[in-house]
Amino acid sequence: MHRILAIIERDLRRFRRSPTLIMVSVVMPLVQLIVLGYAFGGKLKHVEVGVVDEDHGVPAVKLKEMFQAIAANASTFDTVAYTDQTSALHDLRSGRISAVVNIPPEFSRSVLAGKNPRIALIEDNTDQFAASALEGSLTQLLAPYNAPATAPRLSADVTLSVVEVYPYVPYIQYLLPGSTVLAIFVSAMIGGGIIYIDDKARGLHEGYLVTPIRKFELILGFNLAGAVKAIMAGAVLITVGSLIAGIPDPLNVARLARMMLLVVLTALALISMMFVLMVRVSDPLVPRAMFGVLNTLLFFPSGAVYPIAAFPNWMKAIATVDPFTYAVDGFKELLLKNTGLWAISGDLLYLFIFTLVAMTGATLLFRRTL
């Protein structure tokens, strides 16, 4: 045990004297949380929409007034009046506006005659987010426009009443579980990948190998040393990250304790995964080159930024074995739903088994000789 503790001691002393390393492993995921959280989480505002009124009737004027009401209040879009379709389409293609709403001639006549009146939305569909938001907004706008002036006393229309179990979750909160796992992963990557291989290349391990230390002691020592640093990074994210993201009751002690258990298991799983990948690697460039690939391959399929249900099957297969998936799921339960440990017992079990398998693999693959 004293040998394992000696390895941990050495690693932590070095870590304490490397403020840059601490900054990178903690600050980078926090920056990502803030930037991505606000970049993806905001609502669309002030999209320029051209309106071509070729009808000029009262129903068309009423419609234009509703557009202007949205521009003045929700500000989803701003309207620009055009007198003809050609100049509106020219501005659409040259990027000055994002869509054109065309109210055709005879629109008012069709409305008054009840003959299936139509307006056209010509949109720049290269930006799917803006296009679908605009469509949604205009569809919503047309619902009250189409409603009869006097509602029937008894209606046969089916309406949907939505009951939200949890408070509204802004995107930055949705992203926090992923950012927490990412912070742990960055520490694991630095400790279990980059520093481990650099030490190896510098000959530091040769010094260890001539001592009576056993394979398992070395692997366990390296793993625990890396895990301690990853746990520190995870702990910062679940506290500071929760405060930044505005998680309700962020310093709830019981929840923090549950999250720390998940942080520990996630750290052990990710660090042992790094060791099993790096145990036979000697070239210091390899972990650096793998960093981006692993980050993409593990983070994005995990459901950290988008629901797994929307993935194609091959990505779902990655998500099934990816330890990120279980860690992200666990943090979502704890952070967003404040559940108990029973709700994440499957995640904890998977991470525990993953750690055992990876650490056994790393020990078997580790060479006690040069």
Partner 1 sequence: MFDIEVKDLTKRFGDFVAVDSISFNVGHGEVFGLLGPNGAGKSTLIRMMTTLVPPTSGKVLINGFDVVRSPNDVRQSIGVIPQAMTSDLDLTAWENMSIFAKFYGLSREERRKTIKELLEAVDLTQWADKPLKMFSGGMRRRLEIARGLVHHPKIFFLDEPTTGLDPVSRVAVWEMLSKLKRERDLTILLTTHYMDEADKLCDRIAIVDHGKLVALDSPLKLKASVPGKNIMEVSFANPPPDWQTLLRNLPDVADVKAVDNVFRLSSDNGPRTTVEVMDAARKAGVEVTSLSVQSTSLDDVFVHYTGHQLRDALQAPAVYQQPRV
For partner 1, which residue of 132, 206, 243, 356 counts as binding (CB under 8 A)?
206
Q: What does residue 129 show for φ and ψ, rounded to 5 degrees? A: -65, -50
Rounded CA-CA distance 53/69 in Å is 17
Rounded CA-CA distance 298/322 in Å is 6
Q: How many CB atoms lie within 10 A of CB 233?
A: 28
- Contact between 103 and 63 under an 8 Å Cβ cutoff? The reply is yes
Size of the site for partner 1 (CB under 8 A): 30
Residue whose CB is less far from partner 1, 5 or 72: 5
Count Cα neighbours of 232 within 13 Å in the Cβ-side half-sphere.
18
Applying CB under 8 A, does 150 fall inside the site for partner 1?
no
| Part of the chain binding partner 1 (CB under 8 A), chosen from 178-186, 210-218, 241-249, 256-264 | 210-218
Burial class (CB in 10 A: 0-12, 13-18, 19+), 364: exposed
Shortest Cβ distance from residue 15 to partner 1 (Å)? 9
Applying CB under 8 A, does 368 fall inside the site for partner 1?
yes
DSSP letter assigned to residue 251: T
What six digits make up the tokens of 152? 């029937």
For partner 1, which residue of 205, 215, 288, 316 counts as binding (CB under 8 A)?
205
Give the three-state DSSP class for 37. helix
| Part of the chain binding partner 1 (CB under 8 A), chosen from 95-103, 207-215, 230-238, 239-247 | 207-215
Q: b/e for 83-118, b at 16 or more Cβ within 10 A? A: eebeebbebbeeeebbbbbbbbeebbebbeeeeebe
Applying CB under 8 A, does 204 fall inside the site for partner 1?
yes
Applying CB under 8 A, does 14 fall inside the site for partner 1?
yes
C-alpha 316: how far from chain center: 16
C-alpha distances in angstroms, 163 versus 136, 167, 336, 343? 21, 10, 17, 22
Show the binding pattern over residues 275-314: x = contacts partner 1 (CB under 8 A), - = does not: -------x--------------------------------
For partner 1, which residue of 209, 251, 321, 353 counts as binding (CB under 8 A)?
209
Count Cα neighbours of 107 within 13 Å in the Cβ-side half-sphere.
21
Binding to partner 1 (CB under 8 A) within 34-53 occurs at: none
For partner 1, which residue of 125, 139, 211, 296 counts as binding (CB under 8 A)?
211
For partner 1, which residue of 81, 202, 317, 345 counts as binding (CB under 8 A)?
202
| Part of the chain binding partner 1 (CB under 8 A), chosen from 3-11, 31-39, 69-77, 259-267 | 3-11
Applying CB under 8 A, does 212 fall inside the site for partner 1?
yes
Applying CB under 8 A, does 19 fall inside the site for partner 1?
no
Shortest Cβ distance from residue 193 to partner 1 (Å)? 16
Shortest Cβ distance from residue 185 to partner 1 (Å)? 24
Rounded to 10 degrees, the C-alpha dihedral 47/128/294/260 comes to 60
Applying CB under 8 A, does 10 fall inside the site for partner 1?
yes
Question: Contact positions toward partner 1, by CB under 8 A?
Answer: 2-3, 5-7, 9-10, 13-14, 17-18, 200-214, 282, 368-370
